[in-house]
Amino acid sequence: MAKDLRQFLQVAKEVGPDYYVEVKKPLSPKLEVCVIQQKLAREGRFPVIYCPKIEGSDLPLVTDLFGSREMMGLAMGMDPRKATKQDIFHEFRRRNGTTRPVQTVASSQAPVHEVVLKGDQVDLGLLPIIHHAPLNSGKYVSVGCMVCNDPDTGIPNIGIYRHELKGKDKLGAMLNPGHHAAYIARRYAELGKPMEVAIFIGHHPAAILGSQYTGPQDVNEYEVMGGFLDESFLVTQALTVDLQVPALAEIVIEGIIDPLEMVTDGPFSEYPGYYGEGAKPCYLMNMTAITMRKDAIYHDLDPSHREHNLSGALAYESAVYDAVKSAVPTVKEVYSPPSGANVFTFYVSIAKRVPGEGKRAGLAALAFPTNGNAVVVVDEDVDVFNEEEVLWAVYTRMVPDKDILVIPAITGPHLHPTAYDETGLKRGPMTTKMIIDATMPVGLPFAKRIVPPKDLWESMNLEDYLS
Ligand SMILES: Cc1cc2nc3c(=O)[nH]c(=O)nc-3n(C[C@H](O)[C@H](O)[C@H](O)COP(=O)(O)O)c2cc1C
């Protein structure tokens, strides 16, 4: 069976209540879904949450598909009860950038074309679009994947962008100027052409991980999604725009962006955990069709929940891993902890053999992701997935006046609350970056770490000793 959202929900349900729960009463689209998710998180629980009824819509809603790394392991076919964070990261790396040719199916065979609404029938009010946080400017489609074709190459680009509900048939599109979709929109503006777009909502989470691909613009991200799914991605021709859309999506919204017309977006509950400052410019999409399955499921994501940052974390870590590997081939692991919003802070372990490699690894790590602003480099004996151990290395191996490097005023991280502009006075896109080299010196004496005796550690079974 080809992979899609409903097939994944069945798998999650079978693994058990740690991975799948259902809500038993109707929920308001304003805040209620997110508070359930946040309360579960407070208890350390990150199951997929299925909400059969959202007031005002006939469509069920599902959220928290990316609430834990284990869930992303499940998306990649791993047993979430057994896979370690390390296993999940390396499985992601295996799939990331592995492309598979897409397979095209006829519109009549495409489940996403079971219901077709065009012209006056287009009504975004049919969808359970959520108001996520008290001070947000409105309701947002928070985990739609927007497809547009590069006008020069015809290659589709796909990414998650937030879309504020602007009317019955209008959505905003907040494209970070550094993302490929924004390059494409600017190119349409230069050519004086409208940009045809389609947003698909609800698909297998492995496919959605593919939307976070950080490689070159001329890679077809449907082919990347196929790599993540480990099977060809099924597409069909859209009905009112000249784009291919996923045949197995739950919902597709087709429309057109005039790349010269800007509206505003926000304030919004941004991924660092703060509200963004006021309203920012964004594109406006005029919808031309909504297509969906007869029993479509709407996929939402709470931007104030850690699932937002986690859903892109593996892609960033993978890019940092590649960047460090090119400078220090003995890189071992890379981890971006939730305490650094999964994008600001990276813990990198290396097998250090050459003096200076700790700082080289840190520089390489910061060179790639525009969002990284702090890197801690540790030796291979330190478990980067264990934040307490990383901090132990910092406090016992780092010499502050030699091992903390501060790099002033580089672009990014985007939306970091401390970011400043060229004058250093106002909020802008620049931040100071920091490297902490917590590696031990090479070729110089250093205190020996205490570790348990290997033989006894491995042979001892605590139950034989304790009553
Ligand atoms: C939940 C979620 C929401 C996101 N929202 C936005 C957004 O509103 N605008 C944006 O530019 N990027 C957003 N991103 C990041 C992009 O989806 C991501 O960087 C993607 O790889 C960009 O693709 P592109 O460079 O091919 O256009 C979001 C990512 C996630 C996981």
Query: Cα(274) to centroid of ligand 1, in Å?
Result: 18
Task: Decide: 179 in ligand 1 pocket, CB within 6 A.
Answer: yes
Q: Which protein residue has the closest C-alpha to ligand 1 atom 5?
A: 161
What is the per-residue pLDDT for 372?
86
Point out the ligand 1 atom lying closest to the alpha carbon of residue 213: 21
Right CATH for 307-437 from 3.30.70.120, 3.40.50.10860, 1.10.10.60, 3.40.1670.10: 3.40.1670.10
Task: Decide: 304 in ligand 1 pocket, CB within 6 A.
Answer: no
Provide the H-helix boundaries in 270-356. Answer: 306-327
Point out the ligand 1 atom lying closest to the alpha carbon of residue 182: 27
Tell whether omega for the bond before 413 is within 30 degrees of 0, i.e. cis: yes
* Spans in the chain with pLDDT lower than 70: 369-370, 409-414
Task: Decide: 199 in ligand 1 pocket, CB within 6 A.
Answer: no
What is the DSSP code string of 46-69? --EEEES-BTT-SS-EEE-TTSSH
The residue among 336, 421, 330, 426 whose CA lies nearest residue 372 is 336
Query: Is there a contact between 82 and 70 (Cβ–Cβ < 8 Å)?
Result: no
Query: Cα(415) to centroid of ligand 1, in Å?
Result: 13
What is the per-residue pLDDT for 336?
96
The residue among 370, 397, 456 whose CA lies nearest residue 178 is 370
Provide φ and ψ at 198, rounded to 5°. Answer: -140, 135
Right CATH for 86-296 from 2.60.40.10, 2.60.40.1180, 2.30.110.10, 1.10.3720.10: 2.30.110.10
Structure tokens at 328: 């220090």
What is the per-residue pLDDT for 371?
79
Q: Which protein residue has the closest C-alpha to ligand 1 atom 24?
A: 180
Query: Cα(254) to centroid of ligand 1, in Å?
Result: 19
Its sign, for the CA torsion 126, 129, 130, 131, is negative
Query: Cα(300) to centroid of ligand 1, in Å?
Result: 15
Task: Decide: 159 in ligand 1 pocket, CB within 6 A.
Answer: yes
Which strands form 374-379's sheet, in the order they lie side by side?
331-335, 345-350, 374-379, 430-437, 404-411
Point out the ligand 1 atom lying closest to the alpha carbon of residue 178: 25
Query: Cα(212) to centroid of ligand 1, in Å?
Result: 7
Point out the ligand 1 atom lying closest to the alpha carbon of residue 162: 8
Q: For the whole prediction, is pTM greater than 0.75?
A: yes
What is the per-residue pLDDT for 423?
76
Domain coordinates of the chain in residue numbers?
A: 86-296, 307-437
- Greatest alpha-carbon span in the chain: 78
Query: Cα(408) to centroid of ligand 1, in Å?
Result: 26
The residue among 161, 381, 415, 431 whose CA lies nearest residue 285 is 161
What is the per-residue pLDDT for 413?
59
